[in-house]
Amino acid sequence: MQLAQVKKAYSLAEINFKAGAITNLDLLDAGNSVSDSQLILIKARIDLSVCNYRFQAAVGRKLY
């Protein structure tokens, strides 16, 4: 959900930049926010996978 909101904000920032309402630095900040949000999502997915494997090991299931 956060990623979708950040992408929408970036789209609005692009429109504002083309209209001259914001600077290129503001547009770059919006782009950085998109990248940060994508990175957070990837990290959360990795953490979920690691926790799932740890749980499987803790309950005695084979991981191979």
Could you read off the pLDDT of 24-54 as tens digits, one per residue?
999 999 999 999 999 999 999 999 999 999 9
In the predicted model, is pLDDT for residue 12 greater than 90? yes
| Alpha-carbon gap, residue 15 to 20, rounded angstroms | 9
Residue at 14 is within a domain: yes
Domain residues for the domain of 45 are 2-58
Largest CA distance in the chain: 61
How many CB atoms sit inside 10 A of residue 25's CB?
8
Residue at 64 is within a domain: no
What is the reported pLDDT for 62?
Answer: 87
Residue at 63 is within a domain: no
